[in-house]
Amino acid sequence: MGTIDRRTLLAGTAALALTACGGGKGGSPEATATKGPNIVKPEAGNVVTPADTAALRKKLNAAFKTRDVEQLVGVIDAEDYSLDDVRKRWTRRYENFDRMGVVDGEWYVGVPSGRTRNGAGGKVEYSGNLVFSHRIKDCDGQDVVESYRADFRKKTEDAPLELLRIGDADSYFDPSFWDVADVDVIEGKHSIVGFRLQDAAKAKRYAATIDAGAKRAFDTMPDPGGVTKVFYALTWKAVDGKLWGGVGTSEADAHAYRHPFLDPQELAAGQKKPSTAKGVPLGTGRVGLHEGSFTRSDFPRVTTHEAVHVLADQWGDGSPPIWVIEGLATWGEYGKDALLAEHGGLIRSGWSRFEKVAPKEYEAFHDPSVETIAYKSGGAVFAYLEDTGGRDAVYEVASTFYGNQSRQEAARKLGRSEKDLLAATKKWLRA
Ligand SMILES: [Zn+2]
């Protein structure tokens, strides 16, 4: 039940995507216009303006509102491209969104820098990001984004901006649960449980247990401003660990997928920048419950554990050590007293092994020979913090690690090294 450190695992993907954003088609009209000695007024020629992008965006959003795939397809001047993939993807999405009734969304069109002007007045043609952002009702404090590679054209100064192609979604965000099957949801008080239609009976059977698990997480963690539910998807072999841009690197029985809130308008212009909205939440997450999790005797705790991961994502997209991520979720899963009552012996006897793996990364931490000790001992650090400083001390340490780009920076801001934290916990445990 690991959470994937997506920043580490997908750094390559993200870097590629960003690099791709910078490259237009060879010999773009803009490049011709800016070369040479002539000083061209910035406004001169054929320029893609905010009014152009707003008009295209309006058409796309109108097509989303009507849930008419042909209206969406009608916005695209595809010429040689087949629209079969777009039709297929959005037909399924529209059906799923209608059935689920909890997802709303909208399109964003941006102006990527440097490629959207032809000073001589001729045709402007470029590739860029087309962004679709969505929210799951009560689960997402801000929009969750996804971007598609798209081609745009403005024939003349007076012509509208045209969309020529919607390509593949950036694998950093894709696929979503509603792209891989015909799905529906059960809404609880603290959870929304998504399932394939053929898993409806199973979802119904487990919905109350999952909802109770989510409630325990909300009772334990701070409220991410306006968020009252956690989204769980019942997954299956083919998609276990692979949704929402995740990658299946482990045999975990469940995954929490992290979504930092990126600014959709900035992403449409080619930049992955955090949302500028102030305060929390800075991110959200979704849970994938694999088939294997349902046969575990501790299934109710798994649902709480994963929800704690999701609620911790409100603190941002930093780089917490893996022991902080899993320790916090294990603390939330058991609660301070039960963790020590049930696993105090293991934690004390395995402490020195935990100290060896705590400074390390994902792979070492999840080594089967030490994984159980590492999870429970990480949990003990937060039990120590709660016992000596209350839950506020837990949140302060966890949120600082989640909110900073390096563990060293976080420790500096806390005024306390990881080594000190572990030493103090060891003393408290009498290990
Ligand atoms: Zn976990």
57-105 pLDDT, tens per residue? 999 999 999 999 999 999 999 887 889 999 999 999 999 999 999 999 9
Among the residue ranges 217-221, 223-227, 282-286, the one predicted with the least confidence is: 223-227
Name the pTM for this structure. Answer: 0.88
327 Cα: distance to centroid of ligand 1 (angstroms) = 8
Question: What pLDDT score does 82 carry?
Answer: 87
* Residue 274 banded pLDDT, cuts 50, 70, 90: confident
Given a cut of 50, whether residue 113 has pLDDT beyond it is yes
Inter-axis angle of helices 418-429 and 336-357, nearest 10: 130
Beta bridge partners of 239: none
Coil/strand/helix, residue 154: strand
- Rounded to whole angstroms, how far apart are CA atoms 131 and 388? 46
- The arithmetic mean of pLDDT across residues 262-282, rounded, is 88
d(CA 381, CA 400): 15
Q: Give every CB contact of residue 364 below 8 A, 6+ residues apart in sequence.
A: 357, 370
* Residue 349 to residue 16: CA distance in whole angstroms: 45
pLDDT band at 249 (very low <50, low <70, confident <90, very high): low
Average pLDDT value over all residues in the chain: 89
Give bridge partners of residue 130 from the DSSP assignment.
Answer: 109, 148
Instruction: Phi first, then psi: give them for residue 291, nearest 5 degrees.
Output: -55, -40
Distance CA 130, CA 163 (A): 9
Say how many Å lie between the CA of residue 177 and the centre of ligand 1: 20
Q: What is the pLDDT of residues 200-212, one digit of tens each?
A: 999 999 999 999 9
Residues with CB under 5 A from ligand 1 (ion): 1, 3, 326, 329
Alpha-carbon distance of 392 to 30, in angstroms, equals 54
User: What is the whole-number distance in angstroms between the Cα of residue 325 and the centre of ligand 1?
Assistant: 7
Tell me, in angstroms, the distance from the centre of ligand 1 to residue 184's CA.
Answer: 26
Q: Please tell me the distance between residue 324's alpha carbon and the centre of ligand 1 in angstroms.
A: 10
Q: Rounded to the nearest whole angstrom, what is the distance from the C-alpha of residue 302 to the centroid of ligand 1?
A: 8
**Which class for 391: exposed (0-12), middle (13-18), buried (19 or more C-beta within 10 A)?**
middle
Spacing, Cα 299 to ligand 1 middle (Å): 13
Q: How far apart are CA 381 and CA 330, in angstroms?
A: 10
User: Rounded mean pLDDT of 118-124?
Assistant: 90
Q: Given this model, what pLDDT does residue 376 score?
A: 98
Rounded to the nearest whole angstrom, what is the distance from the C-alpha of residue 75 to the centroid of ligand 1?
43
Quote the pLDDT of residue 21.
27
Distance, CA of 330 to CA of 304 (rounded, Å): 9
Amino acid 365: pLDDT: 95
> Which pairing describes strands 254-260 and 283-289: parallel, antiparallel, or unpaired?
antiparallel
Q: Could you tell me the distance, in angstroms and rounded to a whole number, from the CA of residue 307 to the centre of ligand 1? A: 9
Separation between Cα atoms, residue 58 and residue 55, nearest integer Å: 5
User: What's the token pair of residue 390?
Assistant: 């209350």
CB 52 within 8 A of CB 126: no
User: What's the 415 CA to ligand 1 centre distance in angstroms?
Assistant: 26
